[in-house]
């Protein structure tokens, strides 16, 4: 698919079905300013409406020290309440659009992830991180609180007690602690994080695209239901795959002892 040239994001099809997206403001720790909010909202909306050949996204930051430092506080300095609320409405919309994105997004956390940057990581489906990275929700030290899912996604990832400690102290945790607590799936040397994420993206992109989408939807929404209802939701998602071309192709390929050629239909 053809994407516009964004002011704050770099986009590249690094594999036939894998899109790499890079936060590209390294001079300010890849901080999220108003323009990045607009760029993200446009990108996630386009991918939701028509992902084209994209079957998996890898999201990372420019440079080798910081994934994303959060909101751009220099831009926010002196903002009126109206300006602040208007900007945050934009941020909210891009986070929620990412949350509901049908295709999987893997965070390749190349460095520190703080505040809104950490919330961005938490909104992705899962993450790989640099062993030198640190993670924090620092909003409480600035007189605000997380407002892009941090108070909801973090407890769901690591449990309420650990999350409240991070949220109420604003103190960072190490990459080793993040791995121990299940915030990230694996740690790598700083220069190897993106490649680790791409390895997994290649595997996902090689699987049946409709199956991957239905799995993401089932986990995402089923997790908010009581168990019996979630089981029924899962079966509804499953049944949508039975008459797809890819399901027939998968069974044929298995019996013919060859690699399936999935088309996403």
Task: Determine the distance from the C-alpha atom of residue 22 to the mean position of all C-alpha atoms in its chain, rounded to a whole number.
Answer: 12
Respond yes or no: is residue 139 known to be catalytic. yes
State residue 231's pLDDT score: 92
Same domain, 176 and 128: yes
Q: pLDDT at position 75, please?
A: 84
CB 57 within 8 A of CB 21: yes
69 and 191, same domain (yes or no): yes
Q: Are residues 76 and 191 in the same domain?
A: yes
Residue 261 covered by a domain: no
222 inside domain: yes
In a domain, 240, yes or no: yes
CATH label of the domain that carries residue 118: 3.90.226.10
Q: How are beta strands 66-68 and 9-15 bridged, if at all?
A: unpaired
For residues 136 and 240, membership in a common domain is answered with no
Instruction: Please report the pLDDT score of residue 115 as a whole number.
Output: 95
The phi, psi pair for 32, rounded to 5°, reads -90, 110
Outline where the chain has alpha helix (H).
Answer: 34-49, 73-76, 81-99, 116-123, 150-158, 160-169, 175-181, 193-206, 209-222, 227-239, 245-255
182 contact partners, CB below 8 Å, separation of at least 6: 157, 158
Are 202 and 214 within one domain? no
Catalytic residue among 7, 15, 53, 119: 119
Note whether 215 and 196 are same-domain residues.
Answer: no
Please give the pLDDT value at position 202. 96
Per-residue pLDDT of the chain (265 residues; tens, 9 = 90+): 789 999 999 999 999 999 999 999 999 999 999 999 999 999 999 999 999 999 999 999 999 899 999 988 888 888 899 998 998 999 999 999 999 999 999 999 999 999 999 999 999 999 999 999 999 999 999 999 998 999 999 999 999 999 999 999 999 999 999 999 999 999 999 899 999 999 999 999 999 999 999 999 999 999 889 999 999 999 999 899 899 988 888 889 889 898 898 998 8
Interior/surface letters 141-150, b for 16+ CB within 10 angstroms, e for the rest: eeeeebbbbb
| CATH code, domain carrying 238 | 1.10.12.10
Name 26's Cβ contacts closer than 8 Å, sequence gap at least 6: 61, 62, 63, 66
To the query of whether residue 12 is one of the catalytic residues in this protein, the response is no
Q: Is residue 40 part of a domain?
A: yes
Q: Which of 53, 75, 139, 256 is catalytic?
A: 139
How far is Cα 257 from Cα 84, in angstroms, rounded to an integer? 58
Q: Based on the domain organization, do 83 and 173 belong to the same domain?
A: yes
pLDDT (0 to 100) of residue 248: 86
pLDDT of residue 73: 86
- Do residues 143 and 132 share a domain? yes
Q: Are residues 235 and 250 in the same domain?
A: yes
CA distance 160 to 151: 9
Under 8 Å CB-to-CB from 35, ≥6 apart: which residues?
Answer: 7, 8
| The dihedral sign for the CA sequence 91, 205, 129, 28 | negative
Residue 173: enclosing H or E segment and its boundaries?
strand 173-174
State the CB neighbour count (10 A cutoff) for residue 83. 13
**Do residues 222 and 111 both lie within one domain?**
no
Q: What is the signed CA dihedral for 234, 235, 238, 243, rounded to 10 degrees?
A: -160
Q: Distance between alpha carbon 32 and the CA centroid of its chain, in Å?
A: 15
Q: How many domains does the chain have?
A: 2
Q: State the pLDDT at residue 128.
A: 98
Whole domain around residue 98: which residue ranges?
A: 9-206
**Residue 1, in any domain of the structure:** no
Q: For strand 18-23 and strand 186-188, is the pairing parallel, antiparallel, or unpaired?
A: unpaired
The single residue listed with the structure tokens 């990275």 is 133
Decide if 260 is inside a domain.
no
Q: Do 151 and 94 touch, CB atoms closer than 8 A?
A: no
- Shared-domain flag, residues 213 and 120: no
Q: Is residue 39 part of a domain?
A: yes
Domain boundary among 190, 206, 222: 206
Let me know whether 161 and 249 are in one domain.
Answer: no
Phi, psi angles (nearest 5°) of residue 120: -60, -45
CB of 106 closer than 8 Å to CB of 197 = yes
Distance CA 138, CA 115 (A): 5
């Amino acid at each position: 698919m053809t994407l516009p040239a964004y002011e704050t994001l770099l986009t590249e099809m690094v594999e036939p079905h894998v899109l790499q997206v890079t936060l590209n403001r390294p001079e300010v720790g890849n901080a999220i300013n108003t323009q990045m909010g607009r760029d993200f909202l446009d990108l996630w909306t386009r991918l939701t409406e028509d992902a084209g050949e994209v079957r998996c996204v890898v999201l990372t930051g420019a440079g080798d020290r910081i994934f994303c430092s959060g909101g751009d506080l220099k831009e926010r300095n002196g903002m009126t309440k109206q300006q602040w609320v208007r900007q945050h409405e934009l941020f909210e919309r891009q986070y929620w659009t990412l949350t509901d994105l049908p295709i999987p997004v893997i965070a390749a956390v190349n460095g520190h992830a703080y505040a809104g940057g950490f919330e961005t990581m938490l909104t992705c489906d899962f993450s790989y991180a640099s062993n030198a990275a640190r993670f924090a929700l620092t909003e409480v030290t600035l007189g605000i609180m997380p407002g892009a899912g941090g108070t909801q996604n973090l407890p769901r990832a690591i449990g309420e007690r650990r999350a409240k400690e991070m949220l109420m102290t604003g103190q960072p945790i190490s990459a080793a602690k993040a791995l121990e607590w299940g915030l990230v799936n694996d740690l790598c040397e700083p220069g190897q994080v993106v490649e680790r994420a791409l390895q997994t993206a290649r595997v996902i992109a090689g699987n049946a695209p409709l199956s991957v989408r239905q799995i993401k939807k089932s986990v995402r929404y089923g997790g908010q239901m009581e168990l019996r209802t979630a089981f029924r939701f899962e079966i509804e998602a499953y049944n949508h795959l039975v008459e797809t071309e890819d399901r027939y192709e998968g069974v044929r390929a298995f019996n013919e002892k060859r690699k399936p050629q999935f088309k996403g239909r």
